[in-house]
Chain A
Amino acid sequence: MKVKSILAGTALALLTSTAAFAGDVRIMWYSDGVEGEVMKDLVGRFMKENPGINVILDNVAYSVIKEQLPVQLEAGNGPDIARVTAIKDLSRHWLDLRPLVKDAKYWDDNFGAQADWMRPDGSNQISGFMTQITLTGGYANKTLFEQAGVEIPGPKATWDDWATAARKVKESQQIPFAMAIDRSGHRITAPMLSYGANYIGKDGKPAPLDKGAKDFLTKFVNWVGDGSFSKDVWVSAAGSTYRAAADDFINGQLAFYYSGSWQVANLATKIGNNFDWVAVGSPCGSAACTGMPGGAALVAVKYTKNPKEVAVVMDWFAQEKIVKEFSERTLFLPGHKGVVDKGGLDFKTDNAQAKAALTKFVEATKTTSETALKLPGWRWSDTVYAAVVTRIGQTLAGELKLDDAFQRIDADIAQKVKDAGQ
């Protein structure tokens, strides 16, 4: 009798756990700032409203999203939903939510502008939505500039103007470096475009590095050489590994830091009252004063076992009120047309510097170049970014001459295009 009871209990437990598994939706999430906490709170609310669906939020490092998720997806695995930045490159793995969401028109109307960024070329699939729209841009340590008696360059200032001003601050304030830019192909693309670079060839495939790209890369390498730009971030890894220089700026070690709008919450939280800082947009080159748009998207993965539940989750998080609340609490620029058009976003921060920075980034979107707007939806962006970072990193470490680096970048990209065609 006892044995029978134990067996019956075990069977019941198995059935319950299987039933729970059937309703599980696993989200792979990374955070730049406070959005992990906000998401956790929102997930809790979702589950209260939808008791039949169990959402598991896996908070992971950005490197996991960048390096491990693509491998999982290629193997036909992965989470049910993921927050990603390589949205076009991996678009063949996203689930088409069009037949699953409650109102496809709502999705088209509000997220249509960036829908191409995250779906295979030529399809009308709904893959997900942007959790935030980002724009690269610079930050200046206002306190250091004031203490050095150097005026912060104005809105039309060039990269050369910034380098000159930041060097003066460095010398006056005895900081290790004048400027830094994240070790990222996306970040360094913005100044390359400002100097007239055009990555996209006539056939839609990558074009060889042009004069604009080479002009900025030459300046950049020279600036690192003379100590204007931080060398540490760029030589601290091999290959295309991502490294941010935010900590150096937060620690007051830099006069100017080039990163992007997603850093606002991070800087506001970590810098606090230690010093004053301002967002300054993207410095100008000879062709433009552009930043690089981008962002992170919440996308559904087509290998999910629970597509219906996934669609319910996506519908809930895509609601206008939820997107608005998420943006206000995370200090991210929303990617929802309705929220943007209605305006009235009340960013939840007492930090005047953070609010001013967000306003500055919204302003800076007006100077974004045509090429910059195309790149997030271009299939080969990540390939070009990876080749540039790898080879320029080697050049800065003294392994390659700049001309050889240019040749290697072109060769690496051509090889990748060839590999992809095999």
Chain B
Amino acid sequence: MTSPSPTSSSSSRLGALLMAPVNALMRLIDVPLRGLQKSTGIGGMAAFFLAPNMLIFGIFVLLPLVINFVYSMTGGTAFFLAERNFVGGEQYARLFTCQNYLDPMSCQEDAFWTAVGNTFWFVILQVALMILTALITALILNRDLAARSFWRAVFFFPVLLSPVVVGLIWKWILQRQGLLNFILFQFGDTEPYTWLTDRTWTFAATIGVSIWAHMGFYALILLAGLQAIPKDLYEAAEMDGTKPARVFWRITLPLLAPNLLVVVVLALIRAVQIFDEVYVLTGGGPGTSTLYLTQYIYETGFASALRNPGLAAAASILMGSVLVVLTLIQLGIGRKNENKGKR
């Protein structure tokens, strides 16, 4: 047994000195807390400790949600609730007045249904492509590459950029006199292509740009999952002469499933909420081809001279409902997986 060195004993004295005020404070708090526990029981103590969080949640999440719902039941152009008239479900009825939901132009609020359709296709395509690229990137970055840390930083870098910066960078690249047309011109294409005024290209651009901007984040989550898979499983498969594709389907993918689920849910929610970089890149145009739900809500509530806060609130309640459903699905699948694991 060795005696403690003079350095370690002096550092422990310093630690005790630093902790003295904390300990004194704890002793001070201990007395009323013991009293409280005696009178309320263990359950009461839990409520006591949860109260500050619940208060913050109530003020900053629940209350705005309720106020938003109340707004959706009012009409007029005024912003103050007191100056608005109760119109019941009129705003919701207006949103749902439609001859054919698949043809937005047959709806009273055609822009809303256009935004719903655009958002639906955006979510389907963007999430699928995002997960695919993030998975491929994570698989590559998990290999023994030269300068692996550098490549990981390269793929993660766009995540650090502000969405406005992302939008502007790609606007400069894709506009008529932008970098892409300049490069194409060098290869002999004389007519500049109008990437941002063509409906199909612009829609594709919003998907591509959002994948570029966020893929690094999801790749990082998947990379963490890949690194957590025990190496001996791969060694055993190698010894058995299992083909790489079979290893991927039978070992990598099943063990990566929890991470993939997180990525799918996060990517879905983020995709439904898409706004900032697209707003800067295309402004929702050409026409309304890249008008997504959040921009519709923003324009309807705040930006347009035809603004209607009640209608915007109703649309945001509907969008919030979709997000709640997505979250519940995530929780359900998560619990199912957890139960499977326990069995």
Contact = CB atoms under 8 A, between A and B. Distances in A.
* Chain B interface helix/strand/loop/mixed: loop
Given A232-B176, A397-B199, A240 B287 contact: no
B305 A383 contact: yes
A386 B283 contact: no
Contacts of B307: 70
A116 interface: no
B194 interface: yes
A410 to B, nearest CB: 13
A74 B80 contact: yes
B299 A239 contact: yes
Interface in B191-207: 192, 194, 196-197, 199
Given A89-B305, A239-B304, A397-B287, A419 B77 contact: yes
Nearest to B287: A397
Interface stretch (A162-170, A343-351, A398-406): A398-406
Nearest to A421: B76
Contacts of B110: 408
Contacts of A398: 199, 287
A235 interface: yes
A220 B305 CA distance: 23
B75 interface: yes
A339 B75 CA distance: 46
A170 to B, nearest CB: 14
27 contacts: A67-B303, A70-B307, A71-B302, A75-B79, A76-B80, A89-B305, A232-B176, A236-B285, A236-B286, A238-B111, A238-B284, A238-B291, A239-B303, A239-B304, A390-B306, A396-B286, A399-B287, A404-B105, A415-B306, A416-B77, A419-B77, A419-B308, A420-B76, A420-B77, A422-B77, A422-B85, A422-B87
A241 B197 CA distance: 15
B316 interface: no
**A71, A239, A386, A408 interface centre (most CB from chain B within 10 Å):** A239
A205 B144 CA distance: 72
Contacts of A237: 282-285
Contacts of B302: 67-68, 71
A276 interface: no
B210 interface: no
B78 interface: yes
Contacts of B196: 232, 236
B295 interface: yes
Nearest to A411: B108
Interface in B53-74: none
Given A76-B80, A232-B197, A239-B303, A176 B176 contact: yes
Interface residues of B, number: 39
Contact of B306 (A68, A235, A386, A404): A386
B287 A422 contact: no
Given A176-B176, A386-B306, A422-B87, A75 B80 contact: yes
B262 to A, nearest CB: 33
Interface string B247-263: 00000000000000000
A132 to B, nearest CB: 22
Contacts of A25: none
Given A70-B307, A390-B304, A419-B75, 17 more contacts: A176-B176, A231-B194, A232-B197, A235-B285, A236-B196, A238-B283, A238-B284, A238-B291, A239-B304, A241-B283, A386-B304, A387-B306, A393-B285, A396-B287, A398-B199, A412-B306, A420-B76
A74 B197 contact: no
Contacts of A382: 305
Interface in B109-137: 110-111, 114
B289 interface: yes
Nearest to A380: B305
A238 B85 contact: no
Contacts of A415: 306
Contacts of A387: 306
Interface string B235-276: 000000000000000000000000000000000000000000
A236 B197 contact: yes
Nearest to A63: B303
Given A232-B194, A238-B283, A398-B199, A74 B76 contact: no
Contacts of A68: 302
A422 B176 contact: no
Nearest to A420: B77
A192 to B, nearest CB: 17
Nearest to B308: A419
A110 interface: no
B327 interface: no
Contacts of B295: 238
Contact of B284 (A176, A239, A419): A239
A202 to B, nearest CB: 23
B295 to A, nearest CB: 7
Nearest to A231: B197
Contacts of B199: 397-398
A368 interface: no
Q: Which 7 A-B pairs have the closest CB atoms?
A: A397-B287, A238-B284, A237-B283, A74-B79, A235-B286, A386-B305, A422-B75
A394 interface: yes
A71 B79 contact: yes
A240 B305 contact: yes
Interface string B74-102: 01111110001101000000000000000
Nearest to A73: B79
A232 B282 CA distance: 11
A230 B296 CA distance: 26
A238 B76 contact: no
Contacts of A383: 305-306
Interface string A239-264: 11101000000010000000000000
A404 B105 CA distance: 9
Interface in B277-322: 282-291, 295, 299, 302-308
B117 to A, nearest CB: 12
A385 interface: yes
**B177, B289, B304 interface centre (most CB from chain A within 10 Å):** B304
A419 B285 contact: no
Contacts of A235: 197, 285-287
Interface in A161-214: 176
Nearest to A400: B105
